[in-house]
Structure 1
């Protein structure tokens, strides 16, 4: 990985920074002091609201497939496709929310507005479970179905405004030009994921039990109450927040778009002319300026003039290049996103068929096994942040121990291994079903403990500590400052597109393997399905992805930072 110029040398002497911070104000628009604003004090309020929002979101997402196949009577394949479609939409809508936040509303206002929509969507979703599900002839009532999905996608819309802004707003509370706050910001991404995973553990272990054993009204109503409480807590913390001052010049989208337009208009300009201009003006001095050199043509006007408005500055060209460098990294993470989508769909359906009794008379809800992912995250993040990072820092000299791309790559490797384990466990489950004569008895519990699924879930969680947190920090850090909400929405869009690709892949495999009335890989009778083949395919695709990711990451040039 070529360059890691993130926080500077922590051992180097740095000038004493003023107590008054520049570039940020409080909610009244007045200058702020370092000691009375931002930092962990402000981040605590923001992390709290994130925990509640994730509690609400995963309270729906984690058990949605069982609601669709249960009360709504959908097949396993249809339900999995609907879950992937909704999850994909929910992960792509942050692009819209981030655009509105970075261009018009600001992050704070976007969070408040999205939270209000969240509460409305969850209220309607709860109400939809009260309506009659089926008609007198046993068919699912179409108006109820429409109302349910309207409420569900309203939640997705709210999540689109909430998710990219909350984390970016939290990271904004740390001054990257201060060595200590820069280190704290890197830890912020770790402890952010720790806090929301701890909340998620409670969600999956308790809320899924409520949904399966008490009722869906309370199971959807509790997240609504949690989201309303979160909004109140977020508003209480307003006086501690740092708000970035918006630049008065062109907006970031216009600046970056203009670079591409000017470069295209100047396509006839020769590289030698661009080089001469760079040498004459001393432009593009930073390392990596030779990457995407065709954009350097935006430095020169087609008529040879240098009047303002006809050419782009070197800083604007570097902004455009920084965004363009993200594209191959974004694309090579899509297979990881497809793998990620399986934990809330087929992993859960596997658990339904297995022996779920963990205590006499107590059966663990299948969706609650996803809490193992959260538990492994909660247990591993302190180890990573307090042990692995300091040890790695001693060897590499980097404040974060390893680079962000190295961290992401490690997570990809672990996710591939988790798919291999999942394939072997499913082979074991199918063998037990055959040996016990249960192949054609899908509703009979297979005498195989649900704890067999624990390793694949646990490794999933450790992979998330590396890949998910790494992606969050990478896409926040490597975009221009004014586009950090968009940066985080790009990270989320990986999982949105990944969910769509997962749905497409499932549909394609279903059509191919289910021809001529054969049992497909995803047969509703999982004892005749072949999820083991599917997991093996994902493991192979993950290996290819990791190779391509390594190819692009080794030549990636990190964004430089002025101090």
Structure 2
């Protein structure tokens, strides 16, 4: 082979490799034999199996707490919200560990092992025998019985939070790792990457739908051990599938440069050090920045980071324009994140009080089959599956004709529509609950909490459907927004930031329930969350969330109006 022929061959091989990626052995990775849909199918399958496992626990958890574990409605709702909050906040830690230390692949494997272990122990706790109080009293073994009950309780919650830890490492990394399989610089793979996110969310909702329909029935009518065991098998299957695809994946090369966390943190530190000094002139900023004056005026106090501290040897050097811009971009996310926390509170009700409402209503289909209360959550997944194609094929083209934007509407407009629908959702939920309470009163069932109220559970379907449509707008919008608007190196953290909204929202929901429970359960008063829901007032709680949601929407619109996108596509 001549030197020229060798050079041409080498050039073709280089052109066929994917820049910034290697294979599982650290060698240059070739486009034709790696990544793309061949890898994405494995990863979407993994996510579907994981979501089947997660919703198999989350959707019916309040029923297990108020049933076999004997907790009150308010206590069970608080515990569910605390667990949901932890499960949604831990992805921030998982994303940080993946982006800074282990990498996404190793984090997914380790998290999956912890996930399987947690689900296995959860299954074991459900299979432990429950000893009745009557038996303990008859045999004078109350101390032993209490010890057995405490052990079962401790094992259950230890297992539950181990699942949350596993989910915290798994959730933010799998989606980002899936997106890594498509080269955004390649025109063809860039289109596939956009399609990947659509199929990702579609698969997620389909898995949730199947899980809720099948596992809620098994848990309510057959056996809780089997109902928790199937998610364990599903997660073990997910891990095996993920490992099988290892040779096909593309692994991003970690760049040897300053951590984005350190870069952003340094901007704030230097700005604080220079707080007494005048900010640099606009011309200094515009000389280097692409969006000069507009970005200069926003968060002007950070512009002081462009100046070297007076004692630069001790306090460091001046920050660059790009570093200041990066810090401003991160700070712009804060008001958007905060104003969506009320939606996080609303979201927490889908698997708690909505399910408890359904349990009191007529759930019979004909005379042979009773619908599990938790299975009503399937209408959320079903409405998402149906509304996503309508959104892509009908709504976006119509909106594009008016706005001229390729996406039809901006990310923030999409989130705002979702927030409005969530306000409408809580208003509908309040009206339906008023109707349920009135029906209980008409039939003299106020003091009969165990008697089914002669009101079809179908009355709850509209609020579940609106919940699903609102998710189509706000969930996908938040996911895209926090992925797109963070620094490139923090994409895993960006995806976990939107999950953090629902984590903090769950904690806030638990806090609200606790405060309201204490405020409304005094002498001569009945708590809004009484165990007897026929005497409770969930309608008042839903109206409170309607008011909070309206206030949050107004605040969101104010901040969204002045938001400056990192890229002009919006």
Q: TM-score, normalised by structure 2?
A: 0.91
Q: Tell me if the contact between 2:411 and 2:481 (Cα under 8 Å) persists in the aligned partners.
A: yes
Provide the C-alpha distance between the structure 2 equivalents of 1:315 and 1:245, rounded to a whole number of angstroms: 22
Structure 2 residue 174 is the aligned partner of structure 1 residue 166: yes
Structure 2 residue 377 is the aligned partner of structure 1 residue 370: yes
**How far did 1:393 drift?**
3.0
**How far did 1:316 drift?**
1.6
Q: Per-residue displacement from partner, 1:165-201 (whole Å, max 9, x unpaired)?
A: 1112122233333455444434433322211111111
Change (3 A) 1:462 1:68: same
User: How do residues 120-519 of structure 1 correspond to structure 2 at under 5 angstroms?
Assistant: 120-134=117-131, 136-137=136-137, 141-271=149-279, 273-275=280-282, 277-278=284-285, 282-286=287-291, 288-290=294-296, 291-303=298-310, 310-519=317-526
**How far did 1:531 drift?**
1.0
Change (3 A) 1:296 1:181: farther
User: How do residues 39-188 of structure 1 correspond to structure 2 at under 5 angstroms?
Assistant: 39-134=36-131, 136-137=136-137, 141-188=149-196
Q: Tell me if the contact between 2:59 and 2:212 (Cα under 8 Å) persists in the aligned partners.
A: yes
Q: Tell me if the contact between 2:309 and 2:316 (Cα under 8 Å) persists in the aligned partners.
A: no
Structure 2 residue 538 is the aligned partner of structure 1 residue 531: yes
Q: Tell me if the contact between 2:78 and 2:510 (Cα under 8 Å) persists in the aligned partners.
A: yes
Q: Tell me if the contact between 2:285 and 2:321 (Cα under 8 Å) persists in the aligned partners.
A: no
Q: Per-residue displacement from partner, 1:498-544 (whole Å, max 9, x unpaired)?
A: 00100111111111121114111111111111111111111121111
**How far did 1:28 drift?**
2.6
Q: Tell me if the contact between 1:300 and 1:306 (Cα under 8 Å) persists in the aligned partners.
A: no
Q: Per-residue displacement from partner, 1:455-483 (whole Å, max 9, x unpaired)?
A: 00011011101101111111111111111
Provide the C-alpha distance between the structure 1 equivalents of 2:390 and 2:267, rounded to a whole number of angstroms: 44
Provide the C-alpha distance between the structure 2 equivalents of 1:303 and 1:535, rounded to a whole number of angstroms: 55
**How far did 1:387 drift?**
2.7
Name the SS of the counterpart of 1:23 in structure 2: strand
Change (3 A) 1:538 1:179: farther
Name the SS of the counterpart of 2:127 in structure 1: coil
**How far did 1:315 drift?**
1.7
Change (3 A) 1:390 1:304: farther
What do you get for the CA RMSD once the two structures are aligned?
2.2
**How far did 1:156 drift?**
0.6
**How far did 1:305 drift?**
7.6
Please identify, of 155-164 and 255-264, the stretch whose mean Cα deviation from structure 2 is larger: 255-264
Provide the C-alpha distance between the structure 1 equivalents of 2:224 and 2:281, rounded to a whole number of angstroms: 64
Q: Which has the higher helix share?
A: 2
Provide the C-alpha distance between the structure 1 equivalents of 2:190 and 2:258, rounded to a whole number of angstroms: 28
Q: Per-residue displacement from partner, 1:342-398 (whole Å, max 9, x unpaired)?
A: 010000000110001013210010001111101111111122223322333343333
Change (3 A) 1:34 1:552: farther
Provide the C-alpha distance between the structure 2 equivalents of 1:556 and 1:179, rounded to a whole number of angstroms: 29
Provide the C-alpha distance between the structure 2 equivalents of 1:54 and 1:295, rounded to a whole number of angstroms: 41
**How far did 1:274 drift?**
4.7
**How far did 1:99 drift?**
0.9
Provide the C-alpha distance between the structure 2 equivalents of 1:66 and 1:307, rounded to a whole number of angstroms: 59
Name the SS of the counterpart of 1:22 in structure 2: strand
Name the SS of the counterpart of 1:289 in structure 2: helix
Number of residues of Structure 1 aligned to a counterpart in Structure 2: 543
Change (3 A) 1:121 1:304: closer
Name the SS of the counterpart of 2:564 in structure 1: coil
**How far did 1:408 drift?**
0.9
Provide the C-alpha distance between the structure 2 equivalents of 1:381 and 1:239, rounded to a whole number of angstroms: 33
Q: Tell me if the contact between 1:38 and 1:242 (Cα under 8 Å) persists in the aligned partners.
A: yes
Change (3 A) 1:346 1:218: same
Q: Tell me if the contact between 1:77 and 1:524 (Cα under 8 Å) persists in the aligned partners.
A: yes
Name the SS of the counterpart of 2:19 in structure 1: strand
Change (3 A) 1:363 1:389: same
Name the SS of the counterpart of 2:276 in structure 1: coil
Aligned pair partner of 1:553 in 560, 564, 567: 560
Q: Tell me if the contact between 2:87 and 2:165 (Cα under 8 Å) persists in the aligned partners.
A: yes
Q: Tell me if the contact between 1:186 and 1:400 (Cα under 8 Å) persists in the aligned partners.
A: no
Structure with higher RCO (Cα < 8 A, 6+ apart): 1
Name the SS of the counterpart of 2:348 in structure 1: helix
